[in-house]
Amino acid sequence: MEKDPDDVSNIHNRFSLTLVNPSSHYFSLVVSLVVATVTVLATYFGYLFNFGFDENWYRLPLVLGVLVLTQLLDTQFTKKKEYSKSLHSSLFGNMLWTVTLLMGILSSIVLSKEIELFFIVFGLLLFASFRIGIYTTTLGVSLKKAWAICLIQPMAMYLVLIPQEMWISVLSEPIGLGYGISFLIIASIWSFVTDRAGRPAMESTHKTIQAYLASQGNDFADAEELMEQRSSETKVSTAQIKFSAQNGQKEFRMVLPEIHPGPYHPVGGSNIPYLIYKNLSSSAMVMHSISDHALNLPSRNEVKKYLKNLENSKVTEEGVKCTEPVTVQINKTRVTGLLFGNNPLLFLSRSPHGMEDIPSYMKTEIVQYANNRNYGRTMIVDCHNAMGEEISKEDGEDMLKAAKSCLDTLISKESFPIELGYANTDEMDVWTEDLGMGGLGIICLKLNDKKYFLGWADANNMENGVREKIIEIFAKKDYQLLEICTSDTHYAPVKARNRNGYYQLGLITSAEKLAKWFFEIAKNAEANTISTKFEILENETNVKVMGQGIYEDYSKALDNSLKITKGFVIGGVVFFVTSLFL
């Protein structure tokens, strides 16, 4: 039996619906002009053949001119005055009119019947009904206002398309009027019902959609306001391992925030790994701890509060020694551990098989196991370095066994003085579409005269197998690269038009190029290795987090809206087809 998707995955899967829109408003402008041209030609060669196109050729530039003017006029009626959305909606509306005309011509050929003029007014009103739907759902216009403006563009085009002496006769075609007015009513009912699909938890589904679409253009105020209203205050912890030279001049930190990057770029804490990184003078690795989207910060205000409070971290332990790393592999799961004083640091991974965020119950069980063995602060990193589904029960048990085995082994391991070097790509030209603002970083740990490297990327996960290729390239040069971790940033350098909504590291940039960059900074880290002490820092902050309930409500509203829409679309298509037989 297939497992039902969780709410976050369900919402994420709906992201593909936003890809229906063209990526460029120039594309919509050009194609809408092409579609309008087809409308003119289909009207004169298919319906008004008695009014020769040779004598009415001037109507084509008139229709195109009116189309462009009304597209500009439309922006004045929308909430955000967005020209691009006006163009996109105009394109799809014009396509409906054109398809109606072409289907009318096709039906007359296939069914060997006379062509019916009512398809002209039917298509015009179908265009208007689409405008009601799109204006109320995505453009922030009320239903009353949508009715007032829905006919502006199609009617303006009609008046220059059709000869004046035929204006009344074509518009008064009873069948076309009947079908067209029916679709206007259907569109209005659909708009009314879908807006209430999320109630009682969500007052308006349309406002949520509008806020999301606005945020895609970096206007994130409405989205953050809606999310912050639904968020609740809770206490979140952040652990750090601070490494500093004995003279105090060099400093590096490994940060494990309990909060989760997100919800999506550019809203809330989507870029928080980089913001923490910059706050720590670009000398840090901000790891993905065991956390999920319920721990997203909903707004910039909460992000600022969290960052400011990080300054109040307290030292709970310090020392100068660490064990050599221990790696335990059980089937598809792998755990690598280090012990700083009495504080274990574990790296959990399923690469190259991949997985979603590690569930919180695993953290609880690992920490409890460590506490039973009198360990201090147990720090757990979700390496987040391969794409996959939520971890299965069997793989979860394997990972827990590997973590417990690693903890058992670390107890008996000898500790050695720490030498550490760190380097990053801040001074290198490594911009790429699958990498966040923090770039790449690497540390060199020298323990017992052996060197171990740990890589980090400010990226949203990794392409499967990329980690293994980079580690293999390092191994050929006698460099032991223990792990490569990502921050799981939800920052997007460019808008990714794919199902995920982002480019995972290695999807755009080859493993060979990444390995070259990593190796260059690895040599710098190795050259900068110095004797180091460590401090374990703890911090607790009261901030608003989004919680799980908000995702349940969004998921339910989306599902209900899509079910309603499917029903209306199927019914509308069937109703449309009946017109072809008249």
pLDDT in tens, 558-568: 889 999 999 99
What span, in angstroms and rounded, lies between the C-alpha atoms of 234 and 564? 36
Q: Looking at the chain, how many residues does it have?
A: 582
Place of tokens 């009344």: 168
pLDDT at 582: 85
What span, in angstroms and rounded, lies between the C-alpha atoms of 308 and 97? 56
Q: In this structure, are residues 104 and 115 in contact, taking their beta carbons and an 8 Å threshold? A: yes
Read off the pLDDT band of 144 (50, 70, 90).
very high
What span, in angstroms and rounded, lies between the C-alpha atoms of 67 and 60? 11
The candidate with the shortest Cα–Cα distance to 197, out of 500, 546, 548, 567, is 567
pLDDT at 494: 86
For 478-491, the pLDDT digits (tens) are 999 999 999 999 99
What span, in angstroms and rounded, lies between the C-alpha atoms of 112 and 531? 90
pLDDT at 13: 63
pLDDT at 4: 45
Q: In which element (H, E) is residue 511 found?
A: helix 511-527
For 531-575, the pLDDT digits (tens) are 999 999 999 999 999 998 888 888 888 889 999 999 999 999 999
The candidate with the shortest Cα–Cα distance to 542, out of 224, 226, 259, is 259
User: 351 in the Ramachandran plot: left (φ > 0), alpha (ψ -120 to 50) or beta?
Assistant: beta
Kind of pairing, strands 379-382 and 343-349?
Answer: parallel
Read off the pLDDT band of 3 (50, 70, 90).
very low
pLDDT at 576: 95
Q: In which element (H, E) is residue 284 found?
A: strand 284-286
Mean pLDDT of 353-369: 95
Sign of CA dihedral 472, 476, 479, 480: positive
What letter represents residue 20's amino acid?
V
pLDDT at 549: 87
Phi, psi of 103 (to 5 degrees): -65, -35
Q: Terminus-to-terminus CA distance in the chain, angstroms?
A: 47
Q: Say whether pTM exceeds 0.75.
A: yes
The candidate with the shortest Cα–Cα distance to 534, out of 316, 337, 324, 326, is 316
Q: What six digits make up the tokens of 545?
A: 């987090």
**Residue 350: alpha-carbon gap to chain centroid:** 23
Tell me the CB-side half-sphere exposure of residue 385, using CA atoms within 13 A: 30
For 166-195, the pLDDT digits (tens) are 999 999 999 999 999 999 999 999 999 999
Sign of CA dihedral 190, 191, 195, 199: negative
CA distances from 567 to 154, 292, 561, 562, 580 (A): 26, 34, 10, 9, 21
Q: What six digits make up the tokens of 37?
A: 């041209």
Q: What is the C-alpha radius of gyration for the chain, rounded to an integer number of angstroms?
A: 30
Q: What six digits make up the tokens of 488?
A: 């799981």
Q: Mean of the per-residue pLDDT values for the chain?
A: 93
**Residue 26: alpha-carbon gap to chain centroid:** 24
CA distances from 10 to 13, 119, 305, 350 (A): 5, 39, 30, 23
Q: What six digits make up the tokens of 361?
A: 């119950």
Percent of the chain with pLDDT over 70: 96
